[in-house]
Structure 1
Amino acid sequence: MKTLFDLRKKQDGEMIEAIQKLYDEPLNVVRLGDQSITACIGCWNCWIKTPGRCVIKDRMAEFYPDYVNSDTVILLMNTAQGFISHQAKAFLDRTIPHYHPYIEIVDGECHHVARYQCYPDMVFYYDTEGLTNQEEQVIEDYLYRTAYHFQSKAYRIVKDGSHRLRPLEPRRAKCNVVAFASIEPMETLVIYNGSPRRRGSNSTLILKKAVEALCDRVEIRDLKEEDKWDEWAENFKSDKHVMFFMPLYVHAMPSHVMGFIEKLQASKGSISFFVQSGFPESSQSHYLEAYFEQLALRLGRTYIGTAIKGGVEGLQMRLAKAQEKIMEPLVKAIVNLVYEGKFNPTNISKLARPIRLGTGMKILFKVLTKIGLVNFFWNQQLKENNAYEKRFDRPYVSLTYENNDTRAFHCNVNQ
């Protein structure tokens, strides 16, 4: 089965017909462009309470079986501000239930372990009108990377007279293509907190420390307060210095952050970014960094740079001294930015280490996995929620389809 998810606001049958001819077989068409896909809130319930099942009840959740049981998934997407739209980003974020919280190391990076036997090929289509060549490349690299982490093959439908399918090539994101700039010290820095978690988050905890250090020289705006977006987007035009601080979600920003970015207009001033993630290596955040470089150019703002810090997940469960040790260099980087008008390159470089996990870390990871420490936290959470026995559930798969010879062949090819 091939399933086409149309995530575009304006849906037209012409494009779907063209893709139908491209595959020369019936497509299962799901139209979600006129539906609101609820943003992933990072609650972990699909990992520790209802393994494999998203607790959000919306139209997106109804079609999880269509995704899992397809050999090919085709995504028609809008773009906005030089990236995929928040609707498309929400779709990708919400596929997290199809994977385990457990981690394996692949090419020096942490990856979530597969929940299902195999996954569909991912085929992407987006209109390139209004995109620069660099933005188009950033989107393509991001989509390839997402499919790679999702253990799927990646393709793109391109139009050059006719429609054709082109495999996406593996490329590492180029870092610091746009050089970090320097400006005067800042009287006030507006920081947008991009954490989607409804309750206390690591981002909120870190930014609280930044406020304590900077007092009235920093203003925090929580992007979960969507009723203030229009007001803040208007303020953005005159805000002299702005930072976006957020956790990494599927190699990019949480979808609600993209929703706010779509409202912004070009204006004068500086812009900087800070990305923190649970994975210890910074390489996973480079695809978002590449986009932020282009976003600064699109918004006409002076690009002060992107700071990246991994290994932050679980911060609030650590002892107070351990918390302070992790947060201190992050807060210092923000303080330095405000008082000096630039990131300290040496400090930013240290924050981003390791870029990838080395041989020693891989060996340690294997040892800790064997003695049960790597998965201890997740297993403990599963047991506390009486979900441990269900941890390997595959709730959305069709057993008939999973055992189908054609499906098995497709899986073997992907592997």
Structure 2
Amino acid sequence: MKTIFDLRERQDNEIYEIIQSLYDEPLKVVRLDDKSINACIGCWNCWLKTPGRCVMKDQMAESYSDYVNSDAIILLIDTAQGFISHKAKAFFDRTIPHYHPYIKIVDGECHHVARYKCYPDMVFYYDTEGLTTQEEHVIEDYLYRTAYHFQSKAYRVIKDGSIQLGLLEPRKAKRQAVAFNSIEPMEKLVIYNGSPRRSGSNSGLILKKTLETLGDRVEIRDLKEVDKWGEWADAFKTENNVMFFMPLYVHAMPSHVMGFIEKLQASRGSISFFVQSGFPESSQSHYLEAYFEQLALRLGRTYMGTAIKGGIEGLQMRPIKAQEKIIEPMVKSIANLVWGGSFDTKSICQLSRPIRLGKGMEILFEVLSKTGLVNFFWDQQLKKNDAYEKRFDCPYIF
């Protein structure tokens, strides 16, 4: 079975016919509009309470069977602000039930263990109108990377005189194409908290410490307050210094952050980014960093840089002193930006370590995996929720 998932705002039948010409069997079409896909809120219920099953009740959840039972899925997506749209991003974020919370290491990077025996090829179609060459590369690299972690082959539908499928090849993220800049010390920095969690987020904890350190030199706005987006997008036009602070979700920003970014207009001022992730290695965030560099150019803003810090998941389960040890250099890097008008590149490089896990760490991980210690936290939570016996469920398979 092959399934088209149409994630575009304007859905039409013409492209279905074009793509159908690439296949010798009928394609199923699933149309998903904005109301069909709720944004992932990072609740982890699909891992810890209802293994493999999303708790959301929407059309996206109803289409999971079409996803996992297809041998190819064709994703028709819009682009916005030089990246994939927030709706396409929500689709990717909501695929995490198809994988376990358990981790394996592949080429020095953490990957989630597969829940199903195999996954469909991922075929991407999007219009390149309005994209720069660099933005097009960033999107293509991101889509390949997503498919790679989803353990799927990645293809792109290319319309170049004739219609054809192009196999996407692995490439390193085209990051550091735009240099960090330096400006005068900031009177005030507006920081947007991009965590999708309703409460108890690690981003919120880190930003609380930032506010305690910088006081009225910062203003923190929570992007879950969707009703204020219009007001904030309008204010963005005149605000001198803005930062987006967020957790990494499927190699990029959470979908609601992209939803807000889509509302922004080019304006003067500085822009900076801070990405924290659960996996310890910063390479997971490089594809998002590459996009943020291009976003700064598109918005006409002075790019101050992107700070990356891995290993943050589980922060709040650590003793207070251990939390403070992790948070302190993150807060200091933001303070350097405000007080000095630039990120301290040495401290940013230190924050980003390790870029990838070394062989020694891989060996240690394998040893600990055999003892069960690696999965102890996840198994403990599953047992607490009476879900341990269901941890290997594959609920959407036919």
TM range (shorter): over 0.9
Partners of 2:386 and 2:36 in 1: CA distance: 32
The aligned residue for residue 247 of structure 2 is 247
Counterpart position of 1:112: 112
Matched, 1:283 2:300: no
Structure 1: distance between partners of 2:141 and 2:33: 23
Residue in structure 2 matched with residue 413 of structure 1 by the alignment: none
Q: Distance in 2 between matches of 1:33 and 1:47?
A: 26
- 2:55 maps to what in 1? 55
Residue of structure 2 equivalent to 1:181: 181
Partner of 1:258: 258
1:150-189 aligned at under 5 Å gives the runs 150-189=150-189
Aligned-partner SS, 2:70: coil
Check whether the contact 1:3–1:74 (CA below 8 A) recurs between aligned residues. yes
User: Bigger CA drift: 248-257 or 370-379?
Assistant: 370-379
5+ unaligned residues in a row in structure 2: which ranges?
A: none
Distance across 1 between alignment mates of 2:189 and 2:276: 19
Counterpart check, 1:319 vs 2:311:
no
User: How is 1:117-128 mapped onto 2 (pairs within 5 angstroms)?
Assistant: 117-128=117-128
* 2:38 is the counterpart of 1:38: yes
Q: CA deviation at 1:236?
A: 0.3
Q: Using the TM superposition, give the Cα deviation of residue 36 of structure 1 relative to its aligned residue in structure 2, in angstroms.
A: 3.8
Q: Give the 3-state SS of the residue equivalent to 1:22 in structure 2.
A: coil
Partner of 2:7 in structure 1?
7
CA drift of 1:34 comes to: 5.2
Match of 2:25? 25
Cα distance in 2 between the residues matched to 1:254 and 1:234: 22
The question of whether the paired residues in 1 share the 8 Å contact of 2:251 and 2:284 is answered with yes
Aligned 8 A contact 1:101 1:378 in 2? yes
Matches within 5 A, 1:391-402: 391-398=391-398
Letter in 1 for 2:215: C
1:36–1:87 contact (8 Å) kept in structure 2: no
Given residue 94 of structure 2, which amino acid in structure 1 is its aligned partner?
R
**Normalising to structure 1: TM-score of the pair?**
0.95
Q: Secondary structure at the match of 2:21?
A: helix
Conserved? CA contact 2:175–2:293, under 8 Å: no
Contact kept, 8 Å, 2:156 with 2:168, in 1: the verdict is yes
> Separation in 2 of the partners of 1:176 and 1:19?
36
CA distance in 2, matches of 1:351, 1:203: 16
Please state how far the C-alpha of 1:371 moved relative to its aligned partner: 1.2
Superposed counterparts of 1:167-246, under 5 Å: 167-246=167-246
Kindly indicate whether residue 298 of structure 2 is the aligned counterpart of residue 298 of structure 1: yes
Within 2, Cα distance between the matches of 1:363 and 1:174? 30
Contact 2:275 2:307 in 1 (8 A): yes
CA–CA separation in structure 2 for the residues paired with 1:34 and 1:86: 9
1:199 deviates by 1.0
* Equivalent residue letter for 1:246: M
Give RMSD over aligned pairs. Answer: 0.6
CA distance in 2, matches of 1:364, 1:182: 41
Q: 1:356 and 1:112 mapped to 2: Cα distance?
A: 16
Q: Distance in 1 between matches of 2:330 and 2:73?
A: 39
**Offset of 1:242 from its aligned partner?**
0.2
Q: Does the 8 A contact of 1:49 with 1:382 survive in 2? A: yes
Which amino acid counterpart does residue 152 of structure 1 have in structure 2? S
Whole-angstrom distance in 1 between the partners of 2:46 and 2:367: 27
Structure 1 partner of 2:371? 371
Partner of 1:94: 94
TM-score by length of 2: 0.99
Question: Structure 1: how far apart are the matches of 2:238 and 2:59?
Answer: 38
Name the amino acid aligned to 2:111: H
Tell me what 2:145 maps to: 145
Q: Could you tell me how far 1:35 is from its partner in structure 2?
A: 3.4
Instruction: Give the 3-state SS of the residue equivalent to 1:322 in structure 2.
Output: helix
- 1:10/1:33 contact within 8 Å kept: no
Cross-structure match for 1:410: none
Structure 1 unpaired stretches of 5+: 399-415
Q: What is the rounded CA distance, in whole Å, between the counterparts of 1:236 and 1:210 in structure 2?
A: 21
- Contact 2:45–2:54 (Cα < 8 Å) also in 1: yes
Q: How many residues align?
A: 398
Q: Which residue of 1 aligns with 2:309?
A: 309
